[in-house]
Amino acid sequence: MPDSNIYTQFHRFVPPEEKGRLLGQKGIVLWMYGLSGSGKSTIAAALEQSLHDEGRFVMILDGDNFRHGLNSDLGFSDEDRHENVRRVAEVAKMLANQGVIVLVSVITPKEALRTLAREIIGDSFLEIFVRASYAACAERDPKGLYAKVAAGKIKQFTGKDSGFEEPEIADLMIDTEVVQPSEAVEKIKKTLASRIHRA
Ligand code: ADP
């Protein structure tokens, strides 16, 4: 637990709305989740480029990158996945509060983890389920992980011996077995349009 002698400081800082005004946008977190290889990073990268080209300030928080840095002490147990999501969500929240459009790409396999992220981030949270079947992801295998899993070289792999709960409802669902990345970008931008605009 935090020390009871710690006093958070916000009142002395430039208010978040003024940061957003400087950027001409409202901060938001797009939380993209789905199996490894479902297309989260591909769509995030295309979306970042498209929004950037329109003069938006965007940042991608990529789960794999986090696991190389801030979260390099974490593995894939349920507790570590919880801590992984908690840290990414806290960072995403800080950035969105400063007016940044944050694209998160993290597997986030359980409803409870999505709830955790939503609770940390609050109103500026939008969840996007990037869907593809295990078989389709294994076929794509962009990082060679599915081949390693089939050879018994990776444990606690999502969708195999660590479960993935599909959502009952998501703010948006992109089925990447049907929708191409460019269409996904347009779909997400339509949903975003009313949320990021700041006059
Ligand atoms: P993730 O970030 O979810 O682990 P990646 O984006 O790294 O997944 O990998 C997805 C792979 O699937 C890429 O090689 C991409 O080119 C391919 N792919 C095929 N069809 C699609 C699609 N419709 N949308 C996104 N990615 C797709």
The protein residue with its alpha carbon nearest to ligand 1, atom 20, reads 176
Which atom from ligand 1 is nearest to the alpha carbon of 32?
3
CATH number of the domain encompassing residue 120 = 3.40.50.300
Residue 9 lies in a domain: no
Query: Which pLDDT tens digit goes with each residue over 27-78?
Result: 999 999 999 999 999 999 999 999 999 999 999 999 999 999 999 999 989 9
What string of DSSP letters covers 100-162? -EEEEE----SHHHHHHHHHHHGGGEEEEEEE--HHHHHHH-TTSHHHHHHTT--SS-BTTTB
The H or E element containing residue 175 is strand 172-175
Residue 6 lies in a domain: no
- Give the range of the structural domain holding residue 122, as residue numbers without chain letter: 15-191
**Residue 10's pLDDT is what?**
76
Residue 8 lies in a domain: no
C-beta of 142 in contact with ligand 1 (< 6 A) = yes
Residue 107 lies in a domain: yes
Query: Which pLDDT tens digit goes with each residue over 128-179?
Result: 999 999 999 999 999 999 999 999 999 989 999 889 999 998 889 999 999 9
C-beta of 140 in contact with ligand 1 (< 6 A) = yes
Q: How many CB atoms neighbour CB 82 within 10 A?
A: 15
Angstrom distance (rounded) from CA 13 to CA 5: 20
Residue 22 lies in a domain: yes
Which atom from ligand 1 is nearest to the alpha carbon of 143?
7
- Domains identified in the chain, total number: 1
Q: What is the dihedral of CA 32, 36, 40, 42, to 10 degrees?
A: 170
Residue 94 lies in a domain: yes
For strands 125-131 and 58-62, give the pairing.
Answer: unpaired
- Pocket probe for ligand 1: among 42, 47, 107, 128, the residue whose CB has the most ligand atoms within 8 Å is 42
Distance 38 CA to ligand 1 centre (A): 5
Residue 120 lies in a domain: yes
Residue 4 lies in a domain: no
